[in-house]
Structure 1
Amino acid sequence: MTFRTLMIKTHRVLGTLVSIFFVAWFLSAFVMIYHGFPKFSSDEAHRLHPSLPNFSPSDSLLAGMEAMRTHSPEGKPSSLSLSYNPVVGHHLATSGGGEEHWFTLEGKAITPEAPTVEVCHRVAALWSDKIERIDTLTTLDQWTPFSRLREDLPFYRLNLSQQGREVYLSGRDGHIITEHTRSERVWAWLGAIPHWVYFTWIRENRDLWENLIIFFSGLGSLMTLTGLYIGIDVFVRTRKSKRGVHSPYKRRSYRWHHIMGTLGGIFILVWVFSGLMSLADIPKSINGSPKQNAREVLGEQALPLGSYSKNLISQILSRGDVRSLRWSSVGNIPTIKAADSLGQTTCYDARTDFPTPLSLERPQLEQLIGRIYTGHTWQIDRLEEYDGYYISRNGSLPLPVWRIQIEAEDNPYIYVHSQSGMVRTLDRRDRWQMWVYNKPHSLKFTWLVDKPILWQIVCWVLLLVGTVVSVTGVILGVRYLRRSLKPKSKR
């Protein structure tokens, strides 16, 4: 058997097995451009939840915060927030040592409990709606297929009267797990579910889900590679004919598959392989053994409570329309973030008694980085536009932003937004991940993301090519099966 014959047989067998999955992936990708998997976002929570009451004076609240020290190592919780929950109303929440704790505004510990019927009606009222039926779910379902949610079972599914809306409440503490309307579910069935293989019996078992994605993506990559070889080889063999380089196939399905597969083969190969790499574990050795971890040092964690101004909270709340507060930081600089009903967050410098929006200037950043990376050199630039690694198609990452490049072993890129206090750190391993997955799979290139219409046009053209190749591949696979299963006539 020649190498060419081996490639042809391999492509036919793999194409017959995998082409139908490619059709589903490409068609669902069109929908994924506009619709994702339904979820209950923090922005929606801020829009629906009532405003925080004004604590004036805020001594009782501060006393409650102090009472939480016993639940956080060294009095330093990894997170601290003041928000709303339909079960307990406005409350303080903190985490530390891998556990989350809730407290009343006076600092009394709250024991999580299942939502009552009254609470369920309170949740429905957030959407100005009423409940038609309440279902109790004891297993994960299509809209909660993630194994991490098992600790919240049983779920209470509220079927509301408008738009086919369903709201899932945790049976553990009553928080809203997810929410979706009828139209969102339809789009999910056409997009996210087939594209990400979010079928409950598969996705609830993470190992099974990952192995299936890797297996079919691997087969698809090999199928595309063999097809690309065959397509080029056929064109090369026709170059000396009277017609010159052309597709010799007379059947339309063969000719389209050959031409489009050869022209779009590189895109299809990169797209499928990058999907496989979305689950790949980039070796930690790429980072070496850094002495500092920018993500841990600069992460937006809550500092010890004594770092924050005691009079600032009531001043912020007196401005009205505050839906949540979060105690945060930029390095050793304490901040308090207040979110309003529009989902917009204002970050305040918590070292002052009067609400002063945070504004980090270059000298402050240099001083902060100097404390963390002693003995290292760095470069600071102010970005007015997205660069190759700090990039967002929907504009969720704010601009302008400071970019700090550290000459350390893991070579971290640190992005700091001076007004929001947002810190985004990307070490060498993170940047590798972007090149093997995010950029080739979602076309996250600056020259495209900056032009949304062009980005959509390019996506549509490439996906159409992939769809044509996949559909014709299914047709050829069916014909191959018929020939293989057809009894051979005896001579």
Structure 2
Amino acid sequence: MWSKTKRWLYLIHRWMGIAGCLLIAMWFGSGLVMMYVPFPALTQAERLAGLPPLDRAALAGIAVSPDAAMQAAGLATFPRSLRVEMGGDGPVYRMIDAKGEPHTVSAADARVIRAVDADAALRTARQFAGKPVAWLDTIERDQWTVPNGLNPWRPLHHFRVQDDAGTELYVSARTGEVMRDTARAERFWNWLGSVPHWLYFTPIRKDPPLWRQVVLWTSGPCLAVAISGIWIGWLRLRVRRRFAHGSVAGMSPYRGWMAWHHAAGLAGALFLLFWLVSGWLSVNPNQWFDHRGFDAAALQRYGGHPAPTFPAPDWQAVAGGRDVREIRMTWVGGQPAALAVLRDGTQRVLNPGTGQPLAFDTAALARAAGVLLPGVRLADTTLQTAPDLYWYSHHHSRRFPVLRVAFDDADQTLAYIDPATGQVEGRGNDSRRLYRWLFHAAHSYDFVALTQHRPAWDVVMWLLSVVGLVMSVSGVVVGWRRLRR
């Protein structure tokens, strides 16, 4: 029985490993690229820089109240997001309702904007880029717009900016918003990074269930390759009665590429195993882990004002002559607040009627947070001033201080609230904390001690990735030689 078991171990590792090592080598190489070049996205800084300012003339053109705009959009409850910004030739209200659907209403005449043609989108793209722009096509999706988060804004007008960076812009044909930008270098590196690493090829990624199955059934066999390889590696390792003509101080019977494969496989055995398992978990199979935020109903309870109404702001007072790019309107515990967002991302929280600064009391915020989980009492409230294992900045910036509200429920839920703006920024519970360790920690080693002291994080990731590359590339060479024979 043991003889048959070993034979199957060797067969599985040998033949599945020929393709598996090729995939693993690709994942390690593309992962190194992804450390420095993420998948294309329109960042908040890029969006604000491209928006025209809400100057006095633009604000004077707002003739429609927030209530009238929400009524025109047909909203029955206060939206998840409500803001005023410049859109095309004048100011517009942009809303996202409880179902995640976008709505755009002209702030000048309450006209509901449901479609934006290529000519209007061209003017928006030219205004955003500040350079000549050429229309390319109108698409549902392409390689750089495959994520599902863009679905409510499709189709998209596609433009090329006449600049040295080879910039391309995508403008929603439903709302007229710039939704994505890419540059030539960014697109090139993503063909070596995110696209192969995530298997983000358009024919697959456009079908989310198919893509999830492809990821699961691609990484699953690689796990079998890794487990069988670790087992064989330990079986072939000798510490006491060493091999007379072996390598690695006689502990391995192999030489050449096989010796490199044996040594690297054992040196990075646990790292490789955890890394592959965490990659498999990245698509959240069977929805084992909770989502990271509170649902729309919980956030509406926190706002304390479900009706689609908001006091008419004094726009000039709220903008205050500053370089404001958008004004957000929100409710916090039954209190209205206007957030004037400047070009550099600075947010000024103001009384919408007077334009005076508005400060939130942490105790009041904690009381408002208590309705996020109805019927559950608050266990603790802490003003967190520095990153910890569960709230930290890495690829996404986190603001500090943050108010951390703990609930006395079975899942030990936490709510993270920005005390300056009163906005709920995130949620934690046992499920999310487990996912943090099984995916983020095991896959990207995003420990605060490393990420706050770069290039320490880079050095660790490069060393581990090089071990993985040596193991997988040597496996590819050995496998290719086996196939040739």
- Single out whichever of 213-222 and 390-399 deviates more from structure 2: 390-399
The 5-angstrom pairing of residues 48-447 of structure 1 reads: 48-54=50-56, 61=63, 63=65, 65-69=67-71, 71-86=73-88, 89-96=90-97, 98=99, 99-106=101-108, 108-117=110-119, 119-131=121-133, 133-138=134-139, 140-146=141-147, 149=150, 155-162=156-163, 163-235=165-237, 237-241=238-242, 246-281=250-285, 296-298=297-299, 303=305, 310-348=312-350, 353-361=354-362, 363-370=363-370, 376-394=377-395, 396-423=397-424, 424-447=426-449
Distance across 2 between alignment mates of 1:39 and 1:286? 24
Q: Which of residues 453, 461, 464 in structure 1 aligns to 2:455? A: 453
Distance across 1 between alignment mates of 2:12 and 2:177? 51
Tell me the CA shift for residue 274 of structure 1: 0.4
TM (norm. structure 2) is 0.87
Distance across 1 between alignment mates of 2:124 and 2:220? 49
Q: Aligned pair count? A: 473
CA contact (8 A) 2:51 2:86 kept: yes
- Single out whichever of 426-435 and 137-146 deviates more from structure 2: 137-146
* Alignment correspondent of 1:488: none
Tell me the CA shift for residue 122 of structure 1: 4.6
Structure 2 spans left out of the alignment, 5+ residues: none
Q: Secondary structure at the match of 1:156?
A: strand
Tell me the CA shift for residue 266 of structure 1: 0.8
TM (norm. structure 1) is 0.86
Give 2:162's aligned amino acid. S
CA contact (8 A) 2:42 2:179 kept: yes
Q: 1:126 to 1:73 in 2, by over 3 A?
A: closer
Distance across 2 between alignment mates of 1:302 and 1:70? 23
* Alignment correspondent of 1:481: 483
Distance across 1 between alignment mates of 2:377 and 2:114? 47
Distance across 2 between alignment mates of 1:456 and 1:389? 20
CA contact (8 A) 1:115 1:173 kept: no
Structure 1 spans left out of the alignment, 5+ residues: 288-292, 484-491
Tell me the CA shift for residue 258 of structure 1: 0.5
CA contact (8 A) 2:194 2:200 kept: yes
Q: Secondary structure at the match of 2:65?
A: helix
Identity %: 25
Distance across 2 between alignment mates of 1:402 and 1:149? 31
* Alignment correspondent of 2:27: 25
Q: 1:234 to 1:349 in 2, by over 3 A?
A: farther
Q: Deviations over 1:366-387 (max 9, x none)?
A: 4334566556241122222111
Distance across 2 between alignment mates of 1:36 and 1:468? 24
- Single out whichever of 372-381 and 387-396 deviates more from structure 2: 372-381
Tell me the CA shift for residue 238 of structure 1: 4.5
Distance across 2 between alignment mates of 1:384 and 1:82? 31
CA contact (8 A) 2:333 2:368 kept: yes
Distance across 2 between alignment mates of 1:242 and 1:189? 44
